[in-house]
Structure 1
Amino acid sequence: MFGNFRSAPGIKPTTIPRPGQVSPDEYSKFDKYLVPENIEQRKYRFENGYGALVTYYRPTNTYDLNQIKWIGDQNIFIDGISVDTTDKVEYIVAALNEIKSKKDD
């Protein structure tokens, strides 16, 4: 369709993505958010069946924590203890200790 398309001098054309593909331009918009350069995640699993997903955002040096429930080798997010966007490691440690000592109701 665009096989004979010519671009203006000094402009490098990008290839048109096929259906289901992401264009290189789309990748460049989101590359700063890709793992592991700017984000790291760690899952914790405690003996009581609970755990947490801790996400560390390198550019802002901040953390998020979400409580999870382990069912066998699978885990699901549950309503419970969470920490949103903090740079205080002690908040994350306190939340992990609270989840670790949690008992089923």
Structure 2
Amino acid sequence: MFLFGTAPVQTGLAQMNTDQKIIAQPAQSHPYAGMWVTADGHVRHKLLPNGRYDEARGTRESAYRGRYEVRGNHIDYWDDTGFTADGTFVNRVLHHGGMILYRKE
């Protein structure tokens, strides 16, 4: 699971909070990181090992970018433009936004 939040930063004797993101689990251990594509190849959804995603649509590379978090077989997305989405992994298939994406090995 990828966890994001705020972490206190120690500065001298004073302690202050920052909006620094923390990744709790090493990316290499995440089973869903990698490329996911629709059957026609139009949507290519790359789950990066650092908790970010990059989605291409047709000829438009990086059409959507943002961060994601996986809990069990559920995935939540927070796009850099402000919208949110979610999906579910079922038997090595990602169901997301009315689309079905398959793992590209």
TM-score (norm 1): 0.32
Task: Please identify the structure whose Cα radius of gyration is greater.
Answer: 1
Report the TM-score, using the length of structure 2 for normalisation: 0.32
Q: Which has the higher helix share?
A: 1
